[in-house]
Each structure stands twice: as structure tokens, then as C-alpha cells.
């Protein structure tokens, strides 16, 4: 009978101590694995040279591995952004992106292989959903970006491939690992979602259970100020009316004490008119929130246009004048197919 595979990435110190005891060694060996796993960023159990060679062989023979991903392709943009195409053990492909500045290195994490949400402006959803990622596959993206840049990421955003709220447990366990084992404060973690009915309250309750307290940022991908336009851009929005979605956001705030950020992709002459900015300001009036504007990142399958700088500034000014906290996030890696899913699409 084939041994069940166990991947070490994502396991905490107590779990690794227990694994060592179950495999005939002292708990101290588990602590050694923990140190090499999270401080040295090993990619195989054979690299843990402080362990007896016979025991390393025993672990490998019993299906215990680190659980790293294989780099298939690397795309480097002029601005220093690096996008990696990574392969899982079952030969599926995922993307992860490292976005550097002088003071930080942000990693854009994927939570699924593909996506079922079908957002029209997103390349990932064009290929549908294959499956959700395991905890070790999410954490392995951190090690891949660390290896690519030669330094630890400082910030984590779940804005890559997939819908995090369709893989909540693995995402929260990954956040716990980033926080407790890799030293990234929760306030440097952002979870982005287009919204899944009934999942926001469950996210709050599960996050409190998994993490003790909720300090990460929830970013709700809104992209439209009314239900009709939102349904045209996000097909699943038809099952999750905007008024109920915002009620769930307020409930999330009540449970966690954390404000919600709203992501809004500006599509030239489609959702970036003066009336849209005014409607959005009214929609969020009285809401403890922040709006993060982004310019559309073109994909071949759609004819949407990037808005002009003047239209972006006009939209921002209208929100600001109406008391809505707003910022604009500059796109990175535009010269190298930076939109989620594009690198994977060009490879398969």
C-alpha cells in the first residue's frame, strides 16, 4: 500500500515535533526541521544536513517531503517585477508575482489553479477552475519569490489566481504560517475577494478561530457602483446582490473590528464616468472603508480600454470631495503580461 504523502510546508513547530516523534526520533528533530524549513527555505528534506542521513532517507521513503513547487518560467519586467510560472506535483500550473520597491517586496499569491468566478476583465477565469491549492502550495510561493529575489517578501496579497473565499481554510492556515512561522505581521497581509455569498461572515468567524485575532486587510473587489453594471463585469454577482454584499461587509467589520477596503478597476468609458464616481461615493457613504483604484490591465480576450490619466484623476477627486478615502495603485509589470493568468495561458 502506497504511503500517504505529507508536505512539511505550512506545518508549525508543534506539528513538526509530533511528526518527529511518530517517525522514531525526538521532538528536537522536529525543531531542527522547523528552523531549516522557515529560516533557510529548504526545498528538499535532503538539505537538512543536521538530520541523520538514515533518518532523512526514512522520511523520504515514507512520503514526507518539503512540498516545493518547480519553476517552469520566469518573466522579468523593466520595473523589476518578477512573475513566476510554477508547477505542482500533479503537473498543474500556477502564477505568483514579486513586486519590489526600495522599502518592500510584495508577493501576489494564488489560492487556486484557475478560477470559477469568470470576471470578464481577468485572464485567470477564462480557463475555468481546476482545483484549490493546498496549504503547502500556497506557502511554497513565498519560498519561490524569496529565491528569485534573494530576500524575504515583506508583504503578502492574495490577489493572484483564484477566489480565496472558495479556499478559506487553506488560505487562513497559510496566513497563520506567514505570520507565526515566517514573521510577516498580519497587517502586512491582504486578502482580496469578489465576494461569495454567505462566506464573508464565515471568514470572520474562521479567522478568529484560526488566528486568534483578525488583523489582515480584507479587500472587496467591487468594480461597479450598481448591481446591473457589476453583473455585466462579474457574472457571479447575479447570485449576490450588492446590497446584501455590503451588509455582509458591515457584519464582517462588526465581528473583526477591521475596516474593509474596496478595489475598483477603472475601465475606460465603461465604469469611470462622473456619474459612476458619484454613485460609488453615495453607495459607500457612512461606511468605514478605503477605495483602492486600479487601471485596467488589458487581456486579448476582451476589448476593454485603460482609462486616461485625466479620467483617473477626475474619478479620484470626486470620491475625495465626497469624503471617501481613496488611493490609486499603479500597475506593475505591464510590459510582461502582468494580468493574472496571462503567463499560464501563453504556456499551456
Q: Active-site residues: which are they?
A: 95, 340
Residue 28 burial class via C-beta count within 10 angstroms: exposed 0-12, middle 13-18, buried 19 and up:
exposed
Q: Show contacts of 67-71: CB within 8 Å, 24+ apart.
A: 67/7, 67/8, 67/9, 67/10, 67/134, 67/136, 67/137, 67/140, 68/9, 68/43, 68/44, 68/140, 68/143, 68/144, 69/94, 69/137, 69/140, 69/141, 69/144, 71/144
Q: What are phi and psi of 108, to 5 degrees?
A: -95, 110
Query: Angle formed by the axes of helices 13-22 and 27-35, to 10°?
Result: 130
Q: Using CA atoms of 140, 146, 148, 150 in order, give the dihedral in degrees to the nearest 10.
A: -160
Contacts for 198 with CB less than 8 Å, ≥ 6 apart = none
Which parts of the chain are beta strand (E)? 6-7, 64-65, 70-76, 82-87, 93-100, 105-108, 112-114, 129-132, 155-158, 189-193, 217-221, 260-266, 289-295, 326-329
Question: How many Cβ atoms from other residues are within 10 Å of residue 68's Cβ?
Answer: 23
CA-CA distance, 76 to 1, in Å (whole number)?
44
Per the CB < 8 A criterion, the answer to whether 214 and 256 are in contact is yes
Cα 29-171-132 angle, rounded to 5 deg? 105
Beta bridge partner(s), residue 193: 220
Residue 125 burial class via C-beta count within 10 angstroms: exposed 0-12, middle 13-18, buried 19 and up:
buried
**What string of DSSP letters covers 5-18?**
PEE-TT--HHHHHH
Amino acid at each position: 500500500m502506497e504511503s500517504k504523502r505529507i508536505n512539511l510546508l505550512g506545518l508549525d513547530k508543534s506539528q513538526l515535533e509530533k511528526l518527529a516523534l511518530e517517525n522514531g526520533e525526538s521532538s528536537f528533530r522536529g525543531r531542527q526541521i522547523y528552523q531549516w524549513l522557515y529560516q533557510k527555505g529548504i526545498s528538499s528534506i535532503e538539505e537538512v544536513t543536521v538530520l541523520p542521513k538514515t533518518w532523512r532517507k526514512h522520511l523520504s521513503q515514507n512520503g514526507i517531503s518539503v512540498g516545493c513547487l518547480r519553476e517552469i518560467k520566469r518573466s522579468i519586467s523593466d520595473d523589476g517585477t518578477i512573475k513566476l510560472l510554477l508547477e505542482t506535483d500533479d503537473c498543474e500550473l500556477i502564477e505568483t508575482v514579486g513586486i519590489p520597491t526600495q522599502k518592500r517586496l510584495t508577493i501576489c499569491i494564488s489560492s487556486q489553479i484557475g478560477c470559477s468566478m469568470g470576471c470578464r476583465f481577468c485572464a485567470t477565469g477564462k480557463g475555468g477552475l481546476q482545483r484549490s491549492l493546498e496549504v503547502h502550495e500556497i506557502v511554497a510561493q513565498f519560498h519561490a519569490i524569496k529565491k528569485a529575489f534573494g530576500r524575504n517578501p515583506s508583504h503578502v496579497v492574495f490577489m493572484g489566481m483564484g477566489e480565496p473565499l472558495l479556499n478559506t481554510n487553506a488560505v487562513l492556515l497559510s496566513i497563520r504560517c506567514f505570520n507565526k512561522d515566517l514573521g510577516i505581521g498580519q497587517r502586512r497581509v491582504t486578502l482580496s475577494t469578489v465576494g461569495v455569498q454567505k462566506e464573508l461572515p464565515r471568514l470572520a468567524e474562521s479567522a478568529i478561530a484560526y488566528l486568534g485575532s483578525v488583523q489582515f486587510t480584507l479587500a472587496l473587489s467591487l468594480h461597479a457602483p450598481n448591481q446591473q453594471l457589476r453583473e455585466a463585469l462579474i457574472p457571479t454577482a447575479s447570485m449576490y446582490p450588492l446590497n446584501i454584499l455590503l451588509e455582509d461587509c458591515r457584519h464582517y467589520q462588526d465581528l473583526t473590528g477591521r475596516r474593509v477596503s474596496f478595489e475598483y478597476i477603472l475601465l475606460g468609458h465603461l465604469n469611470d464616468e462622473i456619474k459612476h464616481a458619484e454613485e460609488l461615493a453615495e453607495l459607500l457613504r457612512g461606511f468605514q472603508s478605503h477605495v483602492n483604484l486600479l487601471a485596467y490591465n488589458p487581456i486579448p480576450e476582451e476589448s476593454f480600454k485603460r482609462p486616461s490619466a485625466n479620467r483617473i484623476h477626475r474619478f479620484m477627486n470626486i470620491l475625495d470631495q465626497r469624503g471617501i478615502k481613496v488611493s490609486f495603485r499603479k500597475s506593475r509589470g505591464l510590459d510582461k503580461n502582468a494580468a493574472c493568468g496571462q503567463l499560464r495561458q501563453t504556456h499551456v
